[in-house]
Structure 1
Amino acid sequence: MYFEVGTYRLAINMPRRADLMAEVAARFSRGEGFALATVNLDHLVKLRQSPEFRAAYAAQDLVVADGNPLVWLSRLAGDPVELIPGADMVLPLAELAARQGVPVALLGSTDAALAGAADALCQKVPGLKVAARIAPPMGFDPMGPGGAAVLQEVAASGARLAFLALGAPKQEILAARGREITPQVGFASIGAGLDFLAGEQKRAPKLVRKLALEWLWRMLSNPRRLASRYAQCAAILPGHTLNALRQRRQPKLGTTP
């Protein structure tokens, strides 16, 4: 499944959670880094507006679908993908890191939230080593000198997996830069995943998520900030629906036109 943003084409190359976990495990074993992005409708809006964000996404090694609308579009395209929210991947990735002896770094949010997230992770994942907790200052620029300094701090800690909780587009931009400066480190952009673990933010109840209404829960919690964002997301859906229908008519690999 892919999404067209002008002349840029963004493919979801990790359609299933099992695919993602197998690839990350293989990279841990080989000592290779990666950048993992979790695309959603808001990202597609931002990709239309920002060449820097498009360049950052082009540098991501692994891309999964973080949003039910993208899952529904993939089914319409005849190329279904699984829903893999970034917040849901923190524990599985931490468990994999613990099994393979990979230290992790927590980057973003606040010192208090990172301390709470580290405590929660170590309680839930025995044997996990949290090598660094880094809360960049307000106004942090991932492309500036501060971005390079943070990446060097991650590398010096010995961490080989960094959870980035900076929000889009900062986390994806930092991950893309990290692939150049610290190629041995894996970067997973997970949004509010650490704040959820620390209890700094409350996530929608499981039933609300099961009903695909987490977006409504979030909007009602902060309508002034999120109403406009979701309106922009809704506005791009018709175009992506047409793109999905075009993909459905295209011959799939291994089929005869």
Structure 2
Amino acid sequence: MRFWGNAFDVSVNVPDWAALTRHVTTRLQNGEGFSLATLNLDHLVKLRTDARFREAYATQDLVVADGNPIVWMSKVAGRPVDLIPGSDAILPLSRIAADHGKTIALVGSTADTLQRAKTHLETTVPGTRVVATIAPEMGFDPFGQSADDVLDALQQANADLAFLALGAPKQELFAAYGRRTLKSVGFVSIGAGLDFFSGSQVRAPAWVRAIAMEWLWRALSQPARLIPRYAKCFAILPTEIVHALRQRAEPARDRQTKRG
């Protein structure tokens, strides 16, 4: 499933949970690094104006659909994908790491939040080994010396999997940068997922998520910050829907060519 025009297409190349499990398991078993991005409407907004973000996204090995609008538009295009929020992927990926004796690092947020998230993961998923909790200082540069310091810490800790809670676009930029340097580490951008585990942020109840209203829950909880963001997201929906309809109309032969 592709999004956003022709010049800067972004593809969701991991369609479901089974594929995500397969890809991550294979790479961890083989000691192969990767970077995983979780595509949502906010990312599509940022991709329109941020060239560095586009470059970082182009290097992501794995891209999943993080957001119901992405899933809905994939259905409109006739190429359905599953909803895989970054927050929901943390525990399944931690189980894969634990099952294969791989270590985990937590990067972002605050030291207190990371410590609480570490305790939660190690308690919830038996066998989990969090070998580093790294809370970069304010003004973290995903390409600069502060990024190199984090990469050095990951290398010293022998981390195999790094969950990045740096927010977009910093976490995707850092994942692209780190992927080139630490070729055996899996970088997973997960947004606020660790904050939910630590209790520093409260996630929408399950029933709210079940009816696809988590965005409204979040908007009402932080209106000054999130309502303008969501307004920008809604503004691009017509363009994305037209793009999805065009993909649906593509001849099967053209689809096969583009997959290859």
Please indicate the TM-score interval, normalised by the length of the shorter structure: over 0.9
Q: Secondary structure of 2:252's partner?
A: coil
| Residue number in structure 2 paired with 1:198 | 198
Equivalent pair of 2:164/2:189 in contact (CA under 8 Å): yes
Counterpart code for 1:129:
R
- What residue identity is the alignment partner of 1:21? T
- The residue aligned with 1:47 is 47
Structure 1 residue identity aligned to 2:89: M
The alignment status of 1:58 with 2:58, answered yes or no, reads yes
How far apart in 2 are the matches of 1:255 and 1:42?
27
Identity %: 55
Aligned pair 1:23/2:44, yes or no? no
User: Which residue number in structure 2 is paired with residue 226 of structure 1?
Assistant: 226
Q: Does 1:13 align with 2:13?
A: yes
Q: Which residue of 2 aligns with 1:177?
A: 177
Structure 1 equivalent of residue 93 of structure 2: 93
Q: TM-score, normalised by structure 2?
A: 0.96
- Superposed CA deviations along residues 89-118 of structure 1, whole A, max 9, x for unmatched, are 000000100000000000000000000000
Instruction: Say if 2:38 is the partner of 1:38.
Output: yes
Unaligned runs of 5+ in 1: none
8 Å CA contact 1:5–1:44 kept in 2: the answer is: no
Task: Within 5 Å, give how 1:122-201 maps onto structure 2.
Answer: 122-201=122-201
The total of aligned residue pairs comes to 257
| Shift in Å, 1:148 | 1.3
Letter in 2 for 1:168: A
Q: Distance in 2 between matches of 1:105 and 1:196?
A: 17
Q: Please tell me the residue identity of whatever aligns with 2:31.
A: G
1:149 shift after superposition:
1.4
Provide the residue aligned with 2:120 in structure 1: 120
Question: Which whole-Å CA distance do the structure 2 matches of 1:80 and 1:252 have between them?
Answer: 15
Partner of 1:207: 207
Q: Deviations over 1:193-241 (max 9, x none)?
A: 1110111100000000000000000000011111110110000000000
Aligned counterparts of 1:233 and 1:164: Cα–Cα separation in 2: 23
Deviation at 1:83, TM superposition (A): 0.3
**Displacement of 1:177:** 0.4
Residue 103 of structure 1 aligns with which residue? 103
Is 1:5–1:48's contact at 8 Å kept on the other side of the alignment? no
The amino acid across from 1:227 in the alignment is I
Residue pair 1:6, 1:48 contacting (<8 A) in 2 also: no
Q: 1:135, CA displacement in angstroms?
A: 0.2
TM-score, L = length of structure 1: 0.97
Show CA shifts across 1:20-67 (max 9, x none): 110000001110000000000000000001001001101100000000
Asked if 1 retains the 8 angstrom alpha-carbon contact of 2:86 and 2:189, the reply is yes
Q: Aligned partners of 1:28 and 1:197: how far apart in 2?
A: 24
Amino acid at match of 1:111: A
